[in-house]
Amino acid sequence: MRDEFLIFGKPDIGPEEIAEVVDSLEQGWIGTGPKVHRFEEMLGEYLGVSHVRCVSSCTAALFLGLICLGVGPGDEVLVPAMTFVASANSVEHVGATPILVDSVPGTGVMDLDLAEALIGPRTRAIMPVHLAGRPVDLDRLNEIRDRHGLLVIEDAAHAIGAEWRGRKVGSTGNVAAFSFYATKNVTTAEGGALAADDPRIAERVEHLALHGLSLGAWQRFSDSGYKHYDASEPGFKFNMTDLNAALGIHQLPRLDPGIEYRAELWSRYDRLLEPLPLETPPPASNEMRHARHLYQVLVGPESAVERDELLSLMTSSKIGVGVHYRAVHLHPYYRDKYDLDPAAFPVATDISNRTLSLPLGTNISEADQDDVVEALRTHLVTRIGVGA
C-alpha cells in the first residue's frame, strides 16, 4: 500500500510558473493584462490559428463562441451524449437545443454517421468533443459541415496538441474552445481559450468577456493616459487574469514533451493491464496525434466487480481515479427536460456504467503506475479470482 494518496490529475507546476506568478504579484498587475496577451499570441502560434482569445474557462469560450456564431433560440446543435455536461450546458445557455448523439463503440467519440443522420431543418451547428484527447475525424466532420451548411464549434477541452492528418485541432477553419482547468494537459488553474480564423469572432469574444466594453482594463489604465470606454452591448465577466496566464506561458512550451511522456505511460498501461478483465483504450490511428489526456479503461462485462465498487476500492488503496463521464442524457436535467431514454444511446450508456480513468500525467512515475496496476490486480483478483 502506498504511503501517499496518488492524486488524480494533479497539476505539474514548475519553478518558472511560480516565479512568473510572483512577478505578477510584485508588479501589481494581477488582472487582465500583458501576460494574457502574451499567452494568446503563444497559443495562436502553437495552434496555427490567426486569432485566439483567453477567457475564464472553456465553458465560457463555448458559450461566447456560440453567441458569436449567432446560435440561439430555435436552433439545434448536435452534441455528443458522451461528454462533460458543460458542452451541452453552453448550448442550453444560449437558448438553443442540444441534440445528443451516441458514441462510436470503443473510442467513445461522437458517431459522425449518426450525427449526419440527425441533421434536420433546425440543425445549425455541430459541437464535436475530442474526447480524452482523441481527435474526431476532422475531414469527415468538415465534409458534413460543408455539405449541410452547418457551423462547427469544437469542444477541444481535452485536446490541445491533438492533430488530424498533421493539422492541429482547432486549425481547420472552425471555432474551437480549449480548457486550462487544473487537471488539463496545459493548466492555468482555471481558464479557457477560443480560437478562430475570423478576427470579428475573436474581437467580439474579447468584448463580451469584459462587460461588452470597448476597451479592456489594460488599455484603459495604461501609462498613456486615461481613456473613456463605451458599453455597446451587455457583456459578461469571463476575462482571464495575468495570474492565470502566468502559469500558461510556462505550461505551453512543456506540452509537446508532456504528450510524448504521456504516450509512453499509455503504452506501458496497455501492456501491464492486458491480463486483467478490463478493456484498454483503442490504439490511436495513423491519421491522428492523440493528446493523451485521459487513460480510460472499461471494466469488463465478465468482471464480478462493478465499476462503482472498483472506484471505492481504488480510493481505499490510495489511488485517485476518475469517471469521464456519466453521459449527458443520464443527468436529471437533460433526461427530464428532453424525456431521454438511456436505451436510445446504448454506447454512451454502456461507457457511463463501465468507464474508469487512471492517473496519467507528467508527474506520474513508472513506480506510481505500478502501484495503480497492482491495486487493480489486487481488487480484481481478490474479488473474482482472475489469475493475473
Ligand X SMILES: Cc1ncc(COP(=O)(O)O)c(C=O)c1O
* Catalytic site positions: 184
Angle between helices 58-69 and 85-93 (to 10 degrees): 40
Tell me which stretch binds ligand X (CB under 6 A): 143-151, 153-161, 208-216, 251-259.
153-161
129 binds ligand X (CB under 6 A): yes
244 binds ligand X (CB under 6 A): no
Q: Interaction with ligand X in 76-115: which residues (CB under 6 A)?
A: 83-84, 86-87
C-beta of 294 vs 305, nearer to ligand X? 294
What does the radius of gyration of the chain's CA atoms come to, in whole angstroms? 21
| Closest distance of CB 249 from ligand X, Å | 18
157 binds ligand X (CB under 6 A): yes
Q: Which three cell numbers stand for residue 323?
A: 469517471
C-beta of 159 vs 364, nearer to ligand X? 159
- With b for 16 or more beta-carbon neighbours within 10 A and e for fewer, the 56-83 pattern comes to bbbbbbbbbbbbbbebeeebbbbbbbbb
Q: Which of 6, 58, 132, 152 binds ligand X (CB under 6 A)?
A: 58
Count of C-beta atoms within a 10 Å radius of residue 205: 28
In angstroms, the CA 12 to CA 144 distance is: 38
Q: Write the binding mask 173 to 212 for ligand X: x where contact by CB under 6 A, - elsewhere.
A: ------x-x----------x--------------------
Tell me which stretch binds ligand X (CB under 6 A): 65-73, 155-163, 215-223, 300-308.
155-163
Spatial CA neighbour of 293 closest among 96, 84, 137: 84
| Closest distance of CB 171 from ligand X, Å | 19
**261 neighbors 254 (Cβ within 8 angstroms):** no
Size of site (CB under 6 A) for ligand X: 14
| Closest distance of CB 293 from ligand X, Å | 9
C-beta of 176 vs 273, nearer to ligand X? 176
**175 neighbors 181 (Cβ within 8 angstroms):** no
In angstroms, the CA 124 to CA 76 distance is: 6
In angstroms, the CA 252 to CA 187 distance is: 9
296 binds ligand X (CB under 6 A): no
C-beta of 158 vs 204, nearer to ligand X? 158
The DSSP bridge partners found for residue 196 are 51
In angstroms, the CA 17 to CA 111 distance is: 39
Q: Which of 24, 32, 57, 317 binds ligand X (CB under 6 A)?
A: 57
C-beta of 86 vs 327, nearer to ligand X? 86
In angstroms, the CA 121 to CA 115 distance is: 14
The three-point CA angle 341-346-349 to 5° equals 80
C-beta of 99 vs 131, nearer to ligand X? 131
- Written as one letter, the residue type at 216 is G
- Binding stretches for ligand X (CB under 6 A): 57-59, 83-84, 86-87, 129, 155, 157-158, 179, 181, 192
